[in-house]
Amino acid sequence: MKIEIIPCLNDNYSYLIFDEDKRSACVIDPSEAKPIIEIVEKNKLKLRYILNTHHHHDHVGGNSELKKKYNSKIIGFKDDKDRIPEIDILVKNNQIWKEENFEAKIYHIPGHTSGHIAFHFFKEKKIFTGDTLFSLGCGRIFEGTYEQMFNSLNLIKKLPKDTEIYCGHEYTLQNGNFCMANDTNNLKLKDKFSKVKKKLENNQPTIPTILEDEIECNIFLRAKDLESFSKLRDLKDNY
């Protein structure tokens, strides 16, 4: 399975995963259609599936145009069927979604939105976390509770340590600054943050990040309990 990281809008990432033999592809969270179409055409792919982590416009904005052009099927969480544009296939928590050579486990991870899900391609050890877990940060709590977000992050924390994390935005620099300001003696964080800055200087994405790095460096994953997590989340909202 090959993967292309596709920058969209200001700071979003969409991801195209594809099977090199079959030329069959899935896109995760197409913010807009145009940059996705370019990569699909360049690689001579058939865009079979559109996977949405949640209903926010910067994650589903390309749904309709891509579906129309490629006759793709749109996959999203069952409870969001009325707010994910043109959804075809409804998935639920802990279900395995499998088509062709694509196989992902669905986790319902509410907090950012009530219907947020992650797609875990467990054989490839890749997880698409949308706006729940970012590199060195986590999503804002819009519809859920602190406790839901805390539990959602803890669920991801239990995956194999070498899992690659693909998130919805390039927020790593701002997130890293916040971690550095509030976790001053963390040497692993210092090291990770300097690598992050080098990548950005070279115009490279800081994604994917590895779960092990996040457990050691991401202040939100390091929070010991719900209370300290909630305080950090409030602090970050006003940072």
Residues 148-207 binding Fe ion (CB under 5 A) are 168
Our CB check for Zn ion shows the closer of 56 and 120 to be 56
Our CB check for Fe ion shows the closer of 168 and 176 to be 168
Q: Give the Cβ contact number of residue 106 at 10 Å.
A: 21
Our CB check for Fe ion shows the closer of 32 and 58 to be 58
| Per-position x/- string for 114-153, each x denoting binding to Zn ion as judged by CB under 5 A, each - no binding | -----------------x----------------------
Residue 208: name its binding partner from Fe ion, Zn ion, none (Cβ under 5 to 8 Å by kind). Answer: none
Inter-residue contact 231 to 186 (CB < 8 Å): no
Shortest separation between residue 56's beta carbon and Zn ion, angstroms: 3
Residue 144: name its binding partner from Fe ion, Zn ion, none (Cβ under 5 to 8 Å by kind). Answer: none
Question: Does residue 56 bind Zn ion (CB under 5 A)?
Answer: yes
55 is catalytic: no
Our CB check for Fe ion shows the closer of 13 and 70 to be 13
58 is catalytic: yes
112 is catalytic: yes
Question: Does residue 58 bind Fe ion (CB under 5 A)?
Answer: yes
**Marked catalytic residue, from 55, 59, 108, 116:** 59
Question: Does residue 131 bind Fe ion (CB under 5 A)?
Answer: yes
59 is catalytic: yes
Binding site for Fe ion (CB under 5 A): 58, 131, 168
- Residues marked active site are found at 54, 56, 58-59, 112, 131, 169
